[in-house]
């Protein structure tokens, strides 16, 4: 127990050190001013929905589309966990930044618990190696590269579920399964994608006879736990099913290939020399000596996850391998292709490279077990701990931090909009995901939390086709009178024009359009809904 408490405190201290700017400036500093800012908006919007008893999935963006929270990861778990902070401050970044710091600490802590449990299951008791393995993984670039993407940084829920599952295999205590499914449900309410980490590991366990026997022995408890998971996840599942039924959301397979892992990523965005070195040396030792089934299991999971991260077809660099057979140009299919067509939700995913952290987690688990069984280094475990822990800290990637305005620093028009009675607002230029300045719309979404209007604009992981068509029409027609007709037909009541993006605005507008505010940066117009 003492060692567990010490590891927890060390995990908190390490995370606070890595993300120290967020600790000292939680309301004005962020690790990503695009996707991270969007996640901060999502958490704050969900919290506001809970506080005012509004529909949980209401994002008040992409008007007239509803339930726009479902257009991307929902982050309800983080929103609920940090809800007390929202009750004391309206700054939207605070909850997000605390979630980032907590995720860094909890991922490291639960990785330690998982590796320690794996060692116990393998018949070893070397907690120092469990902590080494946890640090090598959690402090690697493969994990911290996602410091601006909370849905990938926050691995604690799936790792906690795996820890409890392995503890169940060792102790056969049935009640542990219910803690596992609760942790899985928390992951579903955060981001559905990562639940496949647990699915892959449990599937691998079922392929090993000694573990399959343990599961089958307690099949009633396993079945009950699955039912509990189904019930806890049902609201999310039913909401996404309705969403898919409404929008027929399918990612083009060519888009998926574009976001697959490239071999250059191993020395680029995921470059983790300490992790590569430690895993490489210990896996060579594992291959040459007597093997433990659990080591082999983790190696197999890591290899499978690596192949999955390569996407639906084999490629080198950014080019897909296209062999010619009998005059026909072919692709070399990979297992991800079958998951794309068969596994629930995979057609909505577009980034296979997000399975790479599971690759590193698996190889670090195998390396941890190998080190604990490598008798030649037992007497050097503490010098090894100091060396690897120090190298892990030294190799922590440089995390970018960006400054954003606090509520007191918001533009004056935000406070003007707060006083306006109208609700439906469009901000111009209106941008889609491909626009280089799309982050400007994300910042407007942050402002909308303060002035509380429903936006026609929006940024997310999904854009409805009809909305994209409207955005294109506005983009090519504004500021002509026809563009105002289009906005009026859509129900727009307020038009916020950022003047710096327009060389010249007309001196007069259609008769139903009235100027209500103007400064050096923006022009705010109101549309009279009763004018015909």
Q: Are residues 501 and 468 in the same domain?
A: yes
Total domains present in the chain? 2
Q: Are residues 313 and 363 in the same domain?
A: yes
Domain boundary among 334, 366, 394: 394
Q: Are residues 133 and 209 in the same domain?
A: yes
211 and 205 in contact (C-beta within 8 Å)?
Answer: yes
pLDDT, residue 77, reads 96
Is residue 53 one of the residues assigned to a domain?
no
454: three-class secondary structure by DSSP: strand
Is residue 454 one of the residues assigned to a domain?
yes
Contacts of 66 (CB under 8 A, 6+ apart): 55, 57, 58
Q: Are residues 444 and 357 in the same domain?
A: no
Is residue 275 one of the residues assigned to a domain?
no
pLDDT, residue 218, reads 85
Is residue 265 one of the residues assigned to a domain?
no
Confidence band for 503, pLDDT divided at 50, 70 and 90: confident
Q: Are residues 102 and 20 in the same domain?
A: yes
Contacts of 207 (CB under 8 A, 6+ apart): none
Q: Are residues 455 and 498 in the same domain?
A: yes
**In this structure, what CATH number is given to the domain that contains residue 435?**
3.40.50
Q: Could you report the per-residue pLDDT of 274-322, keeping only the tens digit for each? A: 888 877 877 777 777 667 788 888 989 999 999 999 888 777 666 666 6
Q: In what order do the strands lie in the sheet with 522-527?
A: 454-455, 424-428, 494-498, 522-527, 513-518
Q: Are residues 215 and 341 in the same domain?
A: yes
Q: By C-alpha distance, which of 371, 364, 297 is closest to 126?
A: 371
Q: Are residues 356 and 390 in the same domain?
A: yes
Is residue 359 one of the residues assigned to a domain?
yes
Average pLDDT over residues 518-532: 84
**380, pLDDT greater than 90:** no
The mean of the pLDDT values for the chain is 87
The secondary structure of 41-85 as a DSSP string is: HHHHHHHHHHHTT--TT----STT---GGGGS---HHHHHHTHHH
Domain boundary among 363, 394, 425: 394
pLDDT, residue 255, reads 76
Q: Are residues 383 and 349 in the same domain?
A: yes
Range of the domain at 433: 410-527
Which pTM does this prediction carry?
A: 0.91
Is residue 470 one of the residues assigned to a domain?
yes
Confidence band for 374, pLDDT divided at 50, 70 and 90: low
Q: Could you report the per-residue pLDDT of 414-459, keeping only the tens digit for each? A: 999 999 999 999 999 999 888 888 888 999 999 999 999 999 999 9
Q: Could you report the per-residue pLDDT of 172-202, keeping only the tens digit for each? A: 888 999 999 999 999 999 998 899 999 999 9
Is residue 254 one of the residues assigned to a domain?
yes
Q: Are residues 181 and 250 in the same domain?
A: yes
Q: Are residues 156 and 83 in the same domain?
A: yes
Q: Which of 159-163, 375-379, 391-395 has the lowest mean pLDDT?
A: 375-379
- Which H/E stretch holds residue 494? strand 494-498
Q: Could you report the per-residue pLDDT of 226-257, keeping only the tens digit for each? A: 999 999 999 999 999 898 888 877 777 777 77
Domain boundary among 345, 367, 394: 394
Q: Are residues 157 and 195 in the same domain?
A: yes
**59, pLDDT greater than 60:** yes
Q: Could you report the per-residue pLDDT of 256-278, keeping only the tens digit for each? A: 777 888 777 777 778 788 888 87
266 and 309 in contact (C-beta within 8 Å)?
Answer: no
Is residue 24 one of the residues assigned to a domain?
yes
């Amino acid at each position: 127990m003492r060692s567990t408490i010490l590891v927890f405190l060390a995990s908190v201290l390490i995370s606070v050190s890595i993300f120290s700017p967020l600790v000292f400036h939680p309301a004005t500093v962020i690790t990503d001013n695009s996707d991270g800012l969007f996640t901060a908006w999502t958490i704050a919007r969900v919290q506001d929905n809970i506080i005012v008893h509004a529909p949980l999935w209401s994002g008040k963006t992409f008007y007239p589309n509803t339930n726009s929270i479902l257009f991307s990861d929902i982050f309800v778990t983080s929103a609920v966990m940090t809800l007390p902070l929202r009750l004391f401050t309206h700054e939207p970044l605070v909850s997000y930044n605390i979630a980032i710091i907590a995720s860094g600490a909890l991922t490291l802590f639960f990785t330690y618990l998982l590796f320690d449990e794996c060692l116990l299951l393998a018949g070893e008791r070397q907690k120092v190696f469990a902590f080494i393995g946890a640090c090598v993984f959690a402090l690697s670039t493969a994990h911290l590269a996602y410091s601006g993407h909370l849905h990938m940084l926050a691995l604690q829920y799936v790792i906690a579920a795996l820890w409890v599952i392995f503890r169940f295999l060792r102790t056969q205590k049935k009640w542990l399964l219910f803690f596992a499914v609760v942790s899985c449900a928390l992951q579903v309410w955060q981001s559905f994608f990562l639940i496949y980490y647990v699915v892959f590991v449990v599937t691998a366990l079922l392929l090993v006879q000694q573990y399959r026997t343990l599961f089958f022995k307690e099949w009633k408890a396993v079945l009950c736990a699955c039912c509990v998971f189904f019930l806890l996840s049902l609201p999310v599942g039913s909401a996404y099913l309705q969403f898919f039924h409404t929008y027929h959301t399918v990612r083009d397979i060519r888009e998926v290939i574009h976001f697959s892992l490239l071999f250059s990523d191993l020395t680029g965005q995921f470059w983790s020399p300490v992790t590569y070195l430690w895993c490489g040396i210990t896996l060579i030792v594992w291959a040459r000596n007597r093997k433990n089934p659990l080591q082999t299991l983790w190696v197999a999971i890591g290899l499978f996850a690596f192949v999955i991260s390569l996407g639906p077809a084999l490629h080198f660099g950014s080019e897909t391998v296209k062999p010619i057979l009998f005059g026909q140009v072919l692709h070399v299919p990979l297992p991800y292709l079958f998951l794309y067509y068969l596994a629930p939700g995979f057609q909505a995913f577009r980034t296979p490279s997000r399975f790479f952290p599971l690759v590193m987690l698996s190889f670090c688990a195998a390396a941890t077990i190998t080190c604990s069984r490598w008798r030649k280094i037992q007497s050097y475990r503490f010098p090894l701990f100091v060396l690897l822990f120090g190298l892990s800290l030294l190799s922590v990637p440089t995390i970018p931090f960006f400054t954003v305005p606090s509520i007191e620093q918001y533009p004056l028009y935000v406070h003007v909009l707060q006083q306006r009675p109208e609700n439906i607002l469009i901000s111009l230029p209106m941008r889609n995901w491909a626009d280089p300045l799309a982050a400007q719309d994300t910042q407007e979404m942050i402002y909308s939390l303060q002035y509380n209007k429903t936006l026609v604009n929006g940024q997310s992981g999904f854009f409805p086709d009809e909305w994209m068509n409207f955005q294109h029409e506005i983009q090519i027609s504004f500021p002509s009178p026809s563009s105002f007709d289009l906005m009026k037909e859509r129900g727009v009541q307020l038009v916020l024009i950022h003047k710096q993006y327009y060389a010249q605005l007309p001196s007069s507008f259609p008769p139903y359009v009235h100027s209500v505010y103007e400064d050096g940066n923006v022009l705010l117009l109101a549309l009279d809904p009763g004018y015909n």
